[in-house]
């Protein structure tokens, strides 16, 4: 009975657009859904550094190197804000990271594709960060306060990432024939995985209905995917590149672009761990975790030393 009333009060707060804060009562499922979503998001930011980090030493100029370095560093920061947001829900960061390393937690399937040429760095910024922005702008208004506030800052940085990538694509597509071919090849390989980033179609998405009711999500996977296609097609046209989809066509009646079917078998293969780079990505994270152990230990020991120092000062004053 009490639980039922609490649930009703909670839903009424959501319906009236109040933000839910860390110490407020919330249904256990709301808490668990958020921990799952926010930690997957954090893992995606951190694993997302790997395909691009691969090109920092090979960026074609100092300016490109500085921009890419800044971008990859931003992604580390996003991961940290998000782990902190998950901690406000009572999750332990070390448990969340362990789930990533064990392979029991997911991260965005897009980061299991390899970055084969410099043009891939352009395509990732343009398409992958572009798709992330669609999702994250919506999350600035998510019902859980700490998650929403983390997203506001993250979105500002994501728009720099998107422009950084698009600028690379402009340079390549206006360059030599060879450079234009590189840009086209990168678009060919990254287009469909980018559309998959929004997740399964609404009819197949098991979490969507509840997440919409709780206003964790405010748009469905298909709505976000459509918005991304509509925004991106004119950008490809400006570059003079061809999106690899024979069915892509403006639909006057709908006021949207129609696009061809997504290869969901490929998506599920990658999600289940059989993508081209799944093993490599997890191995890299495990190595980082092991090699960082002494840093974590040193930081904890230093914090403990500071605590004791403070304590001693207090007793002296008293
Ligand atoms: Fe990010
Ligand atoms: Fe980004």
Residue 240 in contact with residue 261, Cβ under 8 Å?
A: no
Ion ligand 2, residue ranges at CB < 5 A: 129, 158, 161
Closest CA to 124 of 68, 81, 198, 65: 68
Whether the predicted pLDDT of 86 surpasses 90: yes
What local confidence, expressed as pLDDT, does residue 240 receive?
98
pLDDT-based confidence at residue 312 (cuts at 50, 70, 90): very high
Confidence (pLDDT) at 207: 84
Looking at 45-49, 204-208, 266-270, 311-315, which range is the least confident one?
A: 204-208
| CA nearest neighbour of 37 among 133, 142, 131 | 142
pLDDT tens per residue, range 163-186 = 999 999 999 999 999 999 999 999
Q: What is the value of pTM for the model shown? A: 0.92
The torsion angle over the Cα atoms of residues 154, 155, 156 and 157, rounded to 10 degrees, is 60
What pLDDT is stored for residue 244 in this prediction?
98
Tell whether the torsion through CA atoms of 225, 227, 229 and 231 is positive or negative: negative
120-146: per-residue pLDDT in tens?
Answer: 999 999 999 999 999 999 999 999 999
Do 285 and 101 contact (CB within 8 A), yes or no? yes
Region of poorest pLDDT, from 70-74, 262-266, 310-314:
310-314
SS3 84: helix
CA of 6 to the centre of ligand 1 (A): 35
CA of 49 to the centre of ligand 1 (A): 9
User: What is the share, in percent, of the chain residues with pLDDT greater than 70?
Assistant: 99
Ligand 2 center–CA 155 separation, angstroms = 8
What is the CA(226)–ligand 2 centre distance, in A? 20
Tokens standing for residue 156: 């500002």
Question: CA nearest 227: which of 202, 257, 201?
Answer: 257
Residue ranges in 90-213 assigned as alpha helix (H): 93-102, 118-123, 130-139, 145-173, 177-196, 208-213
pLDDT for 177 = 98
Cα distance from N-terminal residue to C-terminal residue, the chain? 51
Which whole number is the average pLDDT over 249-265?
A: 97
The pLDDT of residue 1:
60
Confidence of residue 314 (pLDDT cuts 50, 70, 90): confident
pLDDT at residue 292 in the model: 95
- Whether the predicted pLDDT of 59 surpasses 80: yes
């Amino acid at each position: 009975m009490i639980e039922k009333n609490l649930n009703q009060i909670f839903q009424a707060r959501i319906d009236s657009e109040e933000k839910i804060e860390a110490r407020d009562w919330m249904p256990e499922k709301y808490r668990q859904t958020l921990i799952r979503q926010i930690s997957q998001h954090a893992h995606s930011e951190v694993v997302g550094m790997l395909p691009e980090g691969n090109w920092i030493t090979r960026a074609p100029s100092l300016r490109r190197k500085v921009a890419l370095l800044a971008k990859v560093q931003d992604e580390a920061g996003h991961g940290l804000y998000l782990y902190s947001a998950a901690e406000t829900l009572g999750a332990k960061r070390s448990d969340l990271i362990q789930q990533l390393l064990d392979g029991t937690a997911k991260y965005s399937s897009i980061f299991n594709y390899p970055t084969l040429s410099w043009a891939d760095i352009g395509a990732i910024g343009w398409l992958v960060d572009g798709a992330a922005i669609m999702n994250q702008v919506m999350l600035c208004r998510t019902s859980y306060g700490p998650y929403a506030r983390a997203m506001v800052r993250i979105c500002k940085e994501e728009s720099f990432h998107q422009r950084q990538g698009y600028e690379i694509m402009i340079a390549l597509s206006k360059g030599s024939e060879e450079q234009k071919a590189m840009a086209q090849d990168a678009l060919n390989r990254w287009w469909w995985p980018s559309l998959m980033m929004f997740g399964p179609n609404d009819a197949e998405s098991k979490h969507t209905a509840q997440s919409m009711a709780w206003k964790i999500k405010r748009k469905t996977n298909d709505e976000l995917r459509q918005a991304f296609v509509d925004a991106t097609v004119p950008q490809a046209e400006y570059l003079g590149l061809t999106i690899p989809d024979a069915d892509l066509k403006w639909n006057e009646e709908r006021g949207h672009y129609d696009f061809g079917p997504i290869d969901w078998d490929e998506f599920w293969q990658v999600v289940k761990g059989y993508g081209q780079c799944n093993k490599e990505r997890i191995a890299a994270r495990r190595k980082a975790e092991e090699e960082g152990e002494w840093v974590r230990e040193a930081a904890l020991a230093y914090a403990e030393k500071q605590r004791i120092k403070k304590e001693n000062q207090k007793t002296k004053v008293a």
